[in-house]
Every structure is written in structure tokens, then in C-alpha cells.
């Protein structure tokens, strides 16, 4: 009797899986490491500095914001590290550090903590911060440098995506893709795949991003649904728009932040639908918007905007694609008939 006095009583289940929020975030960080390495390799050590500043500022903002709001300290869940890293990945290597700090503040304080912290933000913090910075400091955020890999100087240059937008598509008269490649305005496809091209720190190396994505898929952290729907829709759109020009479509897939966005930003739990049908709609929406922005708008890049727009539409998508539960019986329409009568 004596030894039974301190029995724990709690609701079932009494077994729990080993999954934790911290573990999930750690997996995302691990998945981002190849791209971080690629970023430093391609753009030099300053890339590491930008990442460190973003992560540091995000952690500081998270800590201070929770403190000021008299809420529990949530640094331990590592979500601020993920946000910081993703924000850095979305910035050009020459971004002034004070702009990085402002971006971190926007991401953590304005987008995340003002709405209640982890799990409560309606938009992806890193993406929203990038857009805020892009609108506020347009020149700094579009000051892309050529890769410094192999000891080259960090000279300012246009991104392949900006060059691609000058092309006349589908057999029209004007600049052709082959001309740009021949002139060296656009790197060869292999270089694009390896990330040796101008762009933001973490978005260029497709190989590293795909490695990270594979890790997340194997670990079950993300499901393939959103990236697959996103990339397939985008590919179809681009194939049709370019008159089934495979090379052009490949360039589009490897340019800008598409892979980073599709695998690491669009799959953000909090701002994407929970149910499979919702995920498909979300991914298709992202794909269509990205393609439309890239092809028909004055902006060269559309990944951030399309994900942000779909983030906002997420609750609506979830509502409209509500899954049918087991044994669901369609309600008879008697009520409506009754109302009419």
C-alpha cells in the first residue's frame, strides 16, 4: 500500500512515439546543412556570416519577444534556428548585416510571435521577411554576385532567372535561350544543377537541396505531396508555355528559389494544409502562381509570392477539401427542402 501512494494517473494512451517538435526541427536543420555548405562554397565565407547573423538574430528576437510577452521560453524547440537559416538562404550574399537583423525581427517578432508563436503564424516567417526586405530594400536584395568559387571576384551580375525573362518563347522572333547560353549570360545546365550561378545563398545548389529533401522524405518529416504537386504543375505550365522546350523548362526548374521553396518552404507544417487533398490544391496553386508570375509579371521571381499567397489561402483550402472520415454518411438534403418550404 505504501509504495502505491504516488501512482501517476493520466488519460490513455500511456505510450508515446519518440517524435518531438525539437527532433523535427533538428531534422530540418540537418536537411539544410548540405545547402548551407554549398552556399559557403559557391559564395565564400560571407555566406556563413549572413547565416550566423540571421540565426543569432532570430534566436535573440524569439527569446526577447517571449520574455516581453511573459511567455515560456521556446528557444529549445529550435524553430527559430530553422527560420534564421531559411531567411539567410533567401538573401544574396552581399546583403548588409543590419538588413539581415531587420529580416529576422520581421520573421520572428512580427510574423511569428505577434500571432502566438510556433504553430500559430498564418504565413511562413522566412518568406514573409524576405518579401518585406525585398519591398523595403529592393537594391540590396537584388544585388546578386557571381559565384566566387575557384577564386573569382565577387562581381555584381544578373541572375539566370532575370536573363531567362528576356527570352522570347515558343518560336517567337527575338532572343533565344541558345543565344544566352552561347554568350555565357546563363551558365550551363550542369553548373545550374551544382549551384555555380548567381542567386541567393541557399537556393542555387539543386544537388544539395535534393539531398536535404530526400533526407526529410526518408525521415518522414515531410510528405512528397506538396513538392510533387508544386513542381509537376510548374513543369507542365512551363512546358506548354515554351512549346515543349525541355532545356528551357529545366533552366526554369533550376533557377530562382523553386527547389528551396517547394521542398523546404511550401512544406512548412503551420502554413500548409494538413489533409492530402488540401496539400495537392496547395501545391498546384503554388505551381500555377509561380509560373504565372515568372512568365507574365514584371517580377523575375515568383516563388516567395506564390507560397505566401497560398499560405493565406490555406485555411480556406482546408475547409473546402475537408476529408471524409470513416463511415461518413452524406447528410440528406431534407433541411434545405424544409427551409425552402
Q: What radius of gyration, in Å, describes the C-alpha atoms of the chain?
A: 23
Residue 258 CB, nearest distance to other proteins (Å)?
24
Q: What is the DSSP letter of 261?
A: I
CB distance 253 to 310 below 8 Å: no
The reply to whether 334 sits near other proteins by the rule CB under 8 A is no
The residue (of 112 and 197) whose beta carbon lies closer to other proteins is: 112
The reply to whether 8 sits near other proteins by the rule CB under 8 A is yes
> Which of 239, 275, 288, 321 is close enough to bind other proteins by CB under 8 A?
275
> Which of 44, 84, 117, 287 is close enough to bind other proteins by CB under 8 A?
117
The reply to whether 341 sits near other proteins by the rule CB under 8 A is no
The residue (of 27 and 301) whose beta carbon lies closer to other proteins is: 27
The reply to whether 336 sits near other proteins by the rule CB under 8 A is no
109: cell is 517578432
The residue (of 326 and 337) whose beta carbon lies closer to other proteins is: 326
Helix 79-89 to helix 21-43 angle (10° resolution) is 20
- CA 106/CA 297 separation, integer angstroms: 26
Closest residue by Cα to residue 155 from 165, 147, 145, 164:
145
Cis check: omega of the bond before 13, within 30 degrees of 0: yes
The reply to whether 118 sits near other proteins by the rule CB under 8 A is yes
The reply to whether 311 sits near other proteins by the rule CB under 8 A is no
Cβ neighbourhood burial of 149 (10 Å; 0-12, 13-18, 19+): middle
Residue holding cell 565564400? Answer: 44
The residue (of 172 and 323) whose beta carbon lies closer to other proteins is: 323
Q: Which residues bind other proteins (CB under 8 A)?
A: 1, 3-4, 6-17, 19-21, 23-24, 74, 77, 79, 116-120, 269-270, 274-276, 322-329
Amino acid at each position: 500500500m505504501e509504495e502505491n501512494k504516488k501512482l501517476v494517473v493520466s488519460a490513455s494512451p500511456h505510450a508515446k512515439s519518440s517524435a518531438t517538435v525539437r527532433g523535427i526541427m533538428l531534422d530540418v536543420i540537418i536537411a539544410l546543412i548540405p545547402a548551407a555548405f554549398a552556399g559557403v562554397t559557391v559564395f565564400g565565407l560571407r555566406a556563413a556570416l549572413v547565416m550566423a547573423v540571421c540565426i543569432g538574430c532570430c534566436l535573440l528576437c524569439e527569446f526577447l519577444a517571449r520574455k516581453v510577452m511573459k511567455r515560456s521560453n521556446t528557444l529549445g524547440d529550435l524553430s527559430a534556428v530553422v527560420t534564421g537559416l531559411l531567411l539567410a538562404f533567401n538573401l544574396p550574399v552581399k546583403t548588409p548585416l543590419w538588413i539581415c537583423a531587420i529580416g529576422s525581427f520581421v520573421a520572428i517578432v512580427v510574423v511569428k510571435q505577434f500571432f502566438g508563436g510556433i504553430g500559430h503564424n498564418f504565413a511562413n516567417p522566412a518568406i514573409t521577411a524576405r518579401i518585406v526586405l525585398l519591398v523595403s530594400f529592393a537594391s540590396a536584395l537584388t544585388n546578386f554576385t557571381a559565384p566566387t568559387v575557384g577564386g573569382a571576384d565577387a562581381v555584381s551580375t544578373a541572375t539566370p532567372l532575370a536573363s531567362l525573362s528576356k527570352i522570347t518563347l515558343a518560336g517567337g522572333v527575338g532572343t533565344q535561350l541558345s543565344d544566352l547560353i552561347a554568350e555565357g549570360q546563363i551558365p550551363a545546365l550542369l553548373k545550374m544543377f551544382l549551384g555555380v550561378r548567381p542567386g541567393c545563398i541557399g537556393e542555387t545548389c539543386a544537388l544539395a537541396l535534393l539531398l536535404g529533401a530526400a533526407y526529410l522524405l526518408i525521415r518522414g518529416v515531410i510528405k512528397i505531396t506538396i513538392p510533387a504537386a508544386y513542381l509537376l504543375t510548374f513543369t507542365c505550365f512551363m512546358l506548354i508555355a515554351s512549346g515543349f522546350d525541355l532545356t528551357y523548362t529545366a533552366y526554369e526548374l533550376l533557377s530562382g528559389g523553386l527547389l528551396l521553396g517547394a521542398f523546404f518552404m511550401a512544406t512548412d507544417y503551420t502554413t500548409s494544409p494538413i489533409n492530402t487533398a488540401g496539400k495537392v490544391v496547395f501545391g498546384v496553386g503554388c505551381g500555377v502562381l509561380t509560373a504565372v508570375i515568372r512568365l507574365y509579371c514584371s517580377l523575375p521571381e515568383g516563388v516567395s509570392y506564390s507560397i505566401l499567397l497560398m499560405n493565406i489561402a490555406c485555411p480556406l483550402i482546408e475547409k473546402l477539401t475537408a476529408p471524409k472520415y470513416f463511415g461518413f454518411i452524406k447528410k440528406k438534403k431534407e433541411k434545405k427542402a424544409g427551409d425552402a418550404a
